[in-house]
Amino acid sequence: MSTERDCSRIGRIVRAVAGTEEDTITCDDCYDHIDQYVELLEAGESPEGVLLQVQRHLEQCECCEYEMQALVRMIQSMQESDDAPPTSGQG
């Protein structure tokens, strides 16, 4: 199992080196826009402008991708809570 993880990590590093461009953004920049990016994904829209840079950064940065996935899970959990039938608090 660690071999698969190592291969995945090596692949990510290779993509990061090969995909480095002048318009890459930092983790802080990514974090500043990650909520907008997730909202766009939830709406089924494609990223443009700075959000396209966020997408590229997420493809290369495991830490930021993890943060994005955590945000997605949190939003999905909140949506599931909103969709759940109300429970009677009175007995």
pLDDT in tens, 4-21: 666 677 766 666 665 555
Residue 84: both structure tokens together: 């759940």
The whole-angstrom separation of Cα 87 and Cα 25 is 45
The whole-angstrom separation of Cα 55 and Cα 11 is 17
pLDDT in tens, 51-74: 999 999 999 899 999 999 999 999
**Average pLDDT, stretch 31-55?**
90
Q: What's the half-sphere exposure (Cβ side, CA atoms, 13 Å) at 26?
A: 3
Instruction: Count CB-CB contacts under 10 A for residue 34.
Output: 22
H-helix or E-strand spanning residue 70? helix 62-83
